[in-house]
């Protein structure tokens, strides 16, 4: 193992035209019942919207397979003036056993390194058996669970990301 | 607040999330420690190779502006280097995205209010795909320094933003490359947020005369070593 790792630096406020050339939606050929949206707000320690964050997601398909011929499992979106992001994808699977989940990276001006977290879906019955979720102190687990609503027939999961303070999202050392 | 790094982020290579000299960290740095996650499915690959295949290279920023049709103004440079994993092995056929200010220190971005001219022949956006040895190469112009509101008479040193995908989710890196001999390094809190001096120095490209092309462009070498969990990605067809 080398100790010559290149340190990270902030993504800064000017990444949009470069990094959003890649479309925001995960590439796949979903069936209607598999399609979902993930949305939420990114908020700072004062509760103000973070309007220049970049969200990346990475997940397996429903059967637990990562990236294959018709499935990329990667998506990217920036937050708007209200700190809101919106991604459309398919229902994730549970690649390593446990519960279905979506890995998330958060980048922003003021974040000197990326932040990694994980989205669990509130209506999955296996959340209670997920080893990583169970390793999180119980009172902080709700920060990782996205609630569901219907949005013109599209199952929509709400996952706010609080960078600091009350209700701070759990971030992982990944 | 989270000042002490543990796990992956121990050892002075990674910046603390809270670095008061960089004001935007004060409200955005997590106040709780990161939780340790066992290296589980995060090792099951990453999208770098697939993204590289889907989008391909766009690696001459001096000529890729759709609005101009001419060549960008500024000091023409070539930047090249290897993308390596934590074992020093090349990361082949992965996507490297870059963005930067123009020679006058101005980004093509609505929120850049710096009173400096835009160049219709320069968008400051490009992409490379690493070859089988992990090598990338881009042609661009040297970006200018620009002022920002962080502290009195604050100026960002010239830099190019890099976004790199490794073999794994955990190898994901977003960073900035700086230029050697820049007197602005010492007053820049973003650069100086890296605690270890040698690690900080790795963000500064080397002038490389062997890369310099006679009569045409100056050469710089910037190698990128990704951290995170090491390991060869599993064949996607082999996943459970």
Task: Kindly report, residue by residue over B152-198, the tens digit of the pLDDT.
Answer: 999 999 999 999 998 888 899 999 999 999 999 999 999 999 999 99
Q: Respond yes or no: is residue B156 known to be catalytic.
A: yes
Per-residue model confidence (pLDDT) at position A48: 98
> Which contiguous run of DSSP H or E holds residue A27?
none
* Residue A46: CB atoms within 10 Å: 10
3-state helix, strand, coil in chain A (%, to 5): 10, 35, 50
What's the rounded mean pLDDT across residues A14-24? 86
Q: Tell me whether residues A6 and B86 touch, CB distance under 8 A.
A: no
Per-residue model confidence (pLDDT) at position B7: 63
Considering only residues 152 to 171 of chain A, which have any Cβ-Cβ distance to chain B shorter than 8 Å?
Answer: 163-165, 168-171
What distance in Å separates the CA atoms of residue B59 and residue B81, rounded to the nearest whole number? 13
Per-residue model confidence (pLDDT) at position A82: 98
Per-residue model confidence (pLDDT) at position B206: 98
Q: Which residues of A touch B230 (CB under 8 A)?
A: 1
pLDDT band at B1 (very low <50, low <70, confident <90, very high): very low
> Which contiguous run of DSSP H or E holds residue A16?
helix A16-19
What distance in Å separates the CA atoms of residue A103 and residue A66, rounded to the nearest whole number? 12
Q: Tell me whether residues B190 and A115 touch, CB distance under 8 A.
A: no
Select from B108, B109, B173 the Cβ nearest to the Cβ of A6.
B173
**Strand residue runs (E) in B91-230:** 95-100, 125-129, 135-141, 146-148, 154-156, 159-164, 173-178, 206-207, 218-221, 224-225
What percentage of chain A has pLDDT greater than the value 90? 76
What distance in Å separates the CA atoms of residue B101 and residue A75, rounded to the nearest whole number? 26
The answer on pLDDT for B234 being more than 60 is: no
Q: Tell me whether residues B31 and A165 touch, CB distance under 8 A.
A: yes
- Closest CA relative to residue B151, chosen from B24, B17, B11, B7: B24
Considering only residues 60 to 119 of chain A, which have any Cβ-Cβ distance to chain B shorter than 8 Å?
Answer: 60, 64-68, 72-74, 95-96, 103, 105, 107-116
What percentage of chain B has pLDDT greater than the value 70? 89
Residue A150 main-chain phi, psi, to 5 deg: -100, 140
Return the DSSP state at A32.
G
3-state helix, strand, coil in chain B (%, to 5): 15, 25, 60
DSSP 3-state of B100 = strand
What distance in Å separates the CA atoms of residue A142 and residue A151, rounded to the nearest whole number? 22
Per-residue model confidence (pLDDT) at position B36: 85
What's the rounded mean pLDDT across residues B119-140? 97
What's the rounded mean pLDDT across residues A49-64? 94
Q: Tell me whether residues B111 and A52 touch, CB distance under 8 A.
A: yes
Q: Respond yes or no: is residue B107 known to be catalytic.
A: yes
Residue A5 main-chain phi, psi, to 5 deg: -60, 140
What's the rounded mean pLDDT across residues A121-141? 96
Q: Respond yes or no: is residue B159 known to be catalytic.
A: yes
Find, in chain B, the residue whose alpha carbon is nearest to that of A11.
Answer: B174
Kindly report the nearest CA distance between residue A13 and chain B, in angstroms: 8
What's the rounded mean pLDDT across residues B27-49? 81
Per-residue model confidence (pLDDT) at position B236: 40
Q: Tell me whether residues A1 and B86 touch, CB distance under 8 A.
A: yes
Find, in chain A, the residue whose alpha carbon is nearest to that of B198.
Answer: A4
Q: Respond yes or no: is residue B87 known to be catalytic.
A: no
Q: Respond yes or no: is residue B209 known to be catalytic.
A: no
Q: Is B135 on the interface with A (CB under 8 A)?
A: no
Find, in chain B, the residue whose alpha carbon is nearest to that of A101.
Answer: B41
pLDDT band at A34 (very low <50, low <70, confident <90, very high): confident
Are the C-beta atoms of A108 and A83 separated by less than 8 Å?
no
Select from A10, A14, A52 the Cβ nearest to the Cβ of B107.
A14
Q: Which residue has better confidence, A70 or B135? A: B135
ipTM above 0.90, yes or no: yes
Q: Could you tell me the CA-to-CA distances from A63 to A35, A93, B21, B234 in Å, in that order? A: 14, 5, 47, 17
């Amino acid at each position: 193992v080398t100790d010559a790792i290149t340190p990270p630096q902030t993504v800064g406020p000017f990444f949009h035209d470069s990094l959003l050339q890649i479309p925001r939606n995960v590439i796949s050929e979903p069936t209607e019942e598999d399609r979902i949206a993930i949305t939420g707000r990114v908020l700072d320690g004062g509760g103000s919207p973070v309007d220049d964050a970049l969200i990346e997601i990475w997940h397996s398909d429903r059967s637990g397979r990562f990236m294959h011929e018709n499935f990329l499992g990667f998506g990217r979106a920036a937050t708007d003036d209200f700190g809101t992001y919106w991604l459309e994808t398919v229902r994730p699977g549970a690649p390593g056993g446990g519960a279905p989940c979506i890995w998330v990276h958060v980048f922003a001006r003021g974040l000197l390194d990326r932040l990694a977290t994980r989205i669990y879906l509130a209506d999955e019955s296996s959340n209670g058996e997920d080893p990583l979720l169970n390793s999180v102190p119980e009172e902080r687990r709700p920060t990782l669970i996205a609630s569901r609503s219907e949005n013109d027939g599209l199952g929509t999961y709400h996952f706010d990301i609080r960078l600091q303070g009350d209700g701070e999202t759990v971030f992982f050392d990944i | 607040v989270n000042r002490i790094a543990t796990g992956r982020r121990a050892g002075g290579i990674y910046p603390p999330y809270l670095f008061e000299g960089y004001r935007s960290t004060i409200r955005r740095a997590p106040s709780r420690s990161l939780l340790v996650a066992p290296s589980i499915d995060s090792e099951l690959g990453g999208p770098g190779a697939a993204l590289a295949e889907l989008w391909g290279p766009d690696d001459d920023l001096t000529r890729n502006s759709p609005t101009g049709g001419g060549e960008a103004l500024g000091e023409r440079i070539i930047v090249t280097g290897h993308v390596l994993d934590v074992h020093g092995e090349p990361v082949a056929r992965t996507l490297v995205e870059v963005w930067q200010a123009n020679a006058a220190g101005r980004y093509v971005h609505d929120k850049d209010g710096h009173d400096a001219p835009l160049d219709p022949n320069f968008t400051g956006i490009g992409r490379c795909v690493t070859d089988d040895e992990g090598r990338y190469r881009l042609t661009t112009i040297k970006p200018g320094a620009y002022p920002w509101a962080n502290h009195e008479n604050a100026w960002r040193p010239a830099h190019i933003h890099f976004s790199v995908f490794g073999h794994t989710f955990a190898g994901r890196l977003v960073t900035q490359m700086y230029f050697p001999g820049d007197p602005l390094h010492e007053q820049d809190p973003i650069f100086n947020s890296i605690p270890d001096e040698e690690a900080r120095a790795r963000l500064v490209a080397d002038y490389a005369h062997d890369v310099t092309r006679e009569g045409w462009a100056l050469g710089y070498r910037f190698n990128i070593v990704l951290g995170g969990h090491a390991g060869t990605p599993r064949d996607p067809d082999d996943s459970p």
